[in-house]
Amino acid sequence: MVGSEEKLDELRRLLGKADGDPLRIAGVGAGAWGSVFLALLQDSYGRYRDKIQIRIWRRCGRAVDRPTAEHLFEVINSREDVLRRLIRRCAYLKYVEARLGDRTLYADEILRDGFCLNMVDTPLCPLKVVTNLQEAVWDADIVVNGLPSTETREVFEEISKYWKERLTVPIIISLSKGIEAALQPVPHIITPTRMIHRATGVPMENILYLGGPNIASEIYNKEYANARICGAEKWRKHLAKFLRQPHFIVWDNSDLVTHEVMGGLKNVYAIGAGMVAALTNESATSKSVYFAHCTSEMIFITHLLAEDPEKLAGPLLADTYVTLLKGRNAWYGQMLAKGGLNLDMGDSISGKGMIQGVSAVGAFYELLSQSSLNMSRHGERKPVAPVELCPILKTLYKILIKREQSSEDILQALRDENMNDPRDRIEIAQSHAFYMPSLLGKPIDS
């Protein structure tokens, strides 16, 4: 097996790094997965300080509320290794003071000590945290996008200002899941990698997407996980090798469209999965019925966007499964159905971060409801918008965005006697009759 230093040296050579010039990796956004991803790199390569520098940017000023500070104190005292580390760093006293309410902690401050605000139960390694965006990214060779899709465009437009004088083109690895819908000049979606491309001018061959069946805290605790890095051949195989660890296997794949779109779709349907689980007292039968219908909608939508998308199987199916089973979007759906949360609280939840599926529901619905995309459904003369073939998506839109229905209506969507067999929807999708390259803005900047 190739060792960490050998993998690092190989990537440095490919990037033309001279001796004494460290490989610079910058994470942008410090949610759970973004923080864990950078912490994994720090654990693997951080000891080679003359060859690599790893840093992460997050906005300053986000205060840690007292209940979270109290819980964090309990986590620290339950882990002898963490307790000793903080004492050695002369950092333990501030957590005592926060526990007593005598001091306010901040998210960037605790991240330096190895604690992510959205995942305080899982201590990470200490990270170099930068709160000035320009300082974080201006000379970075590799930038890891850990931002929500709703923030990606704005932040990378800011980053582009700092790259105007660059002589080299950076590599960007996007972890973001979600989309935007645009209706002009024709209805189309914009994925995070395309947001980054449009904001910065970095060519698409240098922008990759990484996703996989993973829960951030479990990966950092070294539970075995798979991931795929998707994009142009120029970098993906080299990066897959660099990122691979014994417990985190990274494969490479050329189908950026399917994986990135599925990354957004799985969060949409995970909210509904959480609702179904809560409303049926974790009924395996109900959850399996929901799984059959929602995956058929996902397959249908990806076939509108890609002429020959990768099949929803293997790791791609596993990624969908784990997100429906466990994760912040499924948790959000459960809490809505149980009454533990309400929609007026917004989609950024304390201790969880951004619930990506909410904005994605609105974007996919808005896009697929456009009359200009109308299609003829089998056995019917009147053309319908594609969203009419996605009853779960329609229901989630009415619950989450329009607020015309309650969570309980997700069950009615499954029990509708007029609903087609999921197989029918998949067959329609796989007929290739409705592939619409314009939905990805292909005529504009393919």
- Residue 438 contacts by C-beta under 8 Å, 6 or more apart in sequence? 186, 187, 188
- Confirm if 351 and 28 have CB atoms less than 8 A apart: no
177 a catalytic residue: no
Exactly one of 51, 177, 266, 394 is catalytic; name it. 266
Distance CA 142, CA 25 (A): 5
At 105, which helix (H) or strand (E)? Answer: none
- Confirm if 56 and 145 have CB atoms less than 8 A apart: no
DSSP β-ladder status, 142-145 and 129-130: unpaired
Q: Tell me the two tokens of residue 333.
A: 């759906």
- Residue 299 contacts by C-beta under 8 Å, 6 or more apart in sequence? 312, 425, 426, 429, 430
- Confirm if 434 and 302 have CB atoms less than 8 A apart: no
The CA-atom distances, in angstroms, between 259 and each of 162, 264, 272, 298, 314 are: 30, 9, 20, 11, 12
Distance CA 390, CA 394 (A): 6
- Residue 110 contacts by C-beta under 8 Å, 6 or more apart in sequence? 64, 72, 117
Q: Tell me the two tokens of residue 431.
A: 């007929």
User: Please, is 345 exposed, middle or buried when counting C-beta atoms within 10 Å of its C-beta (0-12, 13-18, 19+)?
Assistant: exposed
Centre a 10 Å sphere on the Cβ of residue 277 and count the other Cβ atoms it contains. Answer: 21
Q: Tell me the two tokens of residue 125.
A: 């390694």
Distance CA 16, CA 11 (A): 9
Side-chain half-sphere exposure of 154, counting CA atoms within 13 A: 6
Centre a 10 Å sphere on the Cβ of residue 98 and count the other Cβ atoms it contains. Answer: 21
Q: Phi/psi of residue 211, each to 5°? A: -150, 170
Burial readout 1-20 (b: 16 or more C-beta within 10 A, e: otherwise): eeeeeebbbebbeebebeee
Beta strands in 237-316 (DSSP E): 248-253
Annotated catalytic sites, by residue? 266
